[in-house]
Chains A and B, each alone.
Chain A
């Protein structure tokens, strides 16, 4: 089934873009800690000298990349998210972020992607953790276009970057690269109101598709909602968020992350720090690990962040605050 204009999955989009950049700059290196992908085949074949499997050694991978960056190499590091963010967290802190070296960490399989692989392979904590590292840029693309943009931004960056790279097919959300300039984007339909928005829905990455469905449903209920994708989680475009919040009566945040420390927390911080007085409800993963296994959708239901639960809870919440919706 053709789900996006290019008819390719998000990882193919990533590696095609990386290959394009790598063809032009032989100083670009891609290093994996023994995590492969079909989408990587072409890059490996065509840019043999710019590819390395460093083995299952994430700590050394980060320190090694720091040494490469000292010699002006543009290094992209790749493996499954928890292994590349948490096992080697200290190396990221002291070898990349403190010296502010432009190395890109690509965590593959964001949030609950590795559903039935279990908690060891899932990453619900990474945003909260990585967000606390000074100098680190965090990008969370939601479709092929934003993934390609993330590659370009990371390549040009003069500081370390963390990209959350999902797996599978994602429908196109962005129409052109300009929409990504601000680090966040409002997906408005033609007849959406621009002022006096009933509900601003902030979401990111893998949850954008769900957020779109939620927006559509709420519209049927006469709730004029606006959807905002936070593509660049750090540094957050606070100015634009303040502006959006000031035009909204209420807001919700939807993420496939631990409820504390993710984008929900970020919006709370913006609200409190700027004396904005609108109600906010956060949807995210509560403070627990699920010990049963299932697919991604099943896990979202377990954690109560599936489309239906969010719609139901949002309606109850709005109705309790504003009678007649």
Chain B
């Protein structure tokens, strides 16, 4: 069970980083706020909860764990996390979406800490499979994580990769689905039904952990459980999340996929976080 001190620490960081997401997008007048706020607690748990092995001074360290963030539009969240960790300077976030920046709305591996460029949905899981498979060949001990959005489940390539990882028993790969139940224009279940997702993935041969993707207790528990498993179980985490989580008027609101807050909205959002 996660200690209270650690829990409070993570909660504090999650507020700081949410503020950073808002500021970054408000300043840039661009970015994907909803999907950033839905996956940010997962990223915080992985990095600050120490479930991911990394070295800020050596981002390319051979023994590091590999995280592929397949939902490449969540850069406001990911770059804020990397800035908070020290991979990049905080001040660099002010260059987000400005000319000649390396921080764009979609993920770039030019940014220290980032493994791969993503942006078009449905690519990341295949890449993660390649990393996990070759790590096994080389008997490398690091783990591979793939954070994908539930919207990516509409891409056929994701199911190709799910079949592959299952067949090849890639137990060094953990797939995390940011299940915020929204895509750009619709709620997933109104558009094309994804449910029953757990059943589908179980039938594919995965051990499916369904958790609250904003609960650091849940996240910690599931990542600890996965880490301790030495057998050939294939793990998928369905992290049930809320698009726009943390800002009352953004939560579950389709508008906030990539809307930019106006001055009043920004101030109100910052106040809610305080």
Contact = CB atoms under 8 A, between A and B. Distances in A.
A65 B127 CA distance: 7
B129 A60 contact: yes
Interface in A72-99: 73, 90-91, 94-95, 98-99
Contacts of B126: 59-64, 66-67, 91, 95
Interface in B133-172: 133-135, 137-138, 140, 156-157, 160-161, 163-164
Interface string A27-67: 00000000000000000000000000011010111111111
A71 B138 contact: yes
Interface stretch (B31-39, B117-125, B174-182, B213-221): B117-125
Q: Choose among B115, B134, B156 the residue with the greatest number of A CB atoms under 10 Å from its CB.
A: B134
A59 B156 contact: yes
A69 interface: yes
Contacts of B156: 59
B120 A57 contact: no
A68 B160 contact: no
B164 A68 contact: no
Given A73-B134, A90-B120, A94-B123, A67 B128 contact: yes
A65 B131 CA distance: 9
A206 B22 CA distance: 57
A90 B104 CA distance: 19
B116 interface: yes
B130 interface: yes
Contacts of B137: 73
Given A70-B116, A99-B116, A55 B164 contact: yes
A29 to B, nearest CB: 9
B189 interface: no
Contacts of B130: 63-71
Contacts of A70: 115-116, 127, 130-131, 134
Tell me the dominant secondary structure on chain A's binding face: helix
B119 A94 contact: yes
B117 A98 contact: yes
Nearest to A98: B117
B121 to A, nearest CB: 10
Interface in A151-207: none
Interface residues of B, number: 30
Contact of B127 (A57, A63, A73, A98): A63
A246 to B, nearest CB: 41
Contacts of B132: 67
Contacts of A95: 116, 123, 126-127
A34 to B, nearest CB: 12
Interface size class of A (residues with CB under 8 A): 20 to 34
B109 interface: yes
Tell me the dominant secondary structure on chain B's binding face: helix
A250 B162 CA distance: 56
Contacts of B160: 55, 57, 59-60
A91 B131 CA distance: 16
B173 to A, nearest CB: 10
Interface in B99-122: 109, 115-120, 122
Interface in B199-248: none
A110 B135 CA distance: 34
B109 A99 contact: yes
B137 to A, nearest CB: 8
Nearest to A33: B160
A71 B160 CA distance: 21
Contacts of B128: 67
A292 to B, nearest CB: 32
B163 A55 contact: yes
Contact of B123 (A54, A63, A73): A63
A64 B120 contact: no
Given A99-B109, A99-B116, A60 B157 contact: yes
Given A57-B160, A59-B160, A68 B134 contact: yes
Interface string A96-124: 00110000000000000000000000000
Given A67-B129, A71-B138, A73-B134, A94 B161 contact: no
Contacts of A54: 164
Contacts of A98: 117
A38 to B, nearest CB: 26
Contacts of B134: 67-68, 70-71, 73
Contacts of B118: 94
Contacts of A94: 117-120, 123
Nearest to A49: B137
B157 A91 contact: yes
Given A66-B127, A67-B129, A60 B120 contact: no
Contacts of B129: 60, 63-64, 67
A144 B43 CA distance: 52
Interface of B: 109, 115-120, 122-135, 137-138, 140, 156-157, 160-161, 163-164
11 contacts: A57-B164, A59-B157, A60-B164, A67-B126, A67-B128, A67-B129, A67-B131, A67-B133, A70-B116, A95-B126, A95-B127
Given A60-B160, A63-B126, 8 more contacts: A60-B157, A60-B161, A67-B126, A71-B140, A90-B123, A94-B119, A94-B120, A94-B123
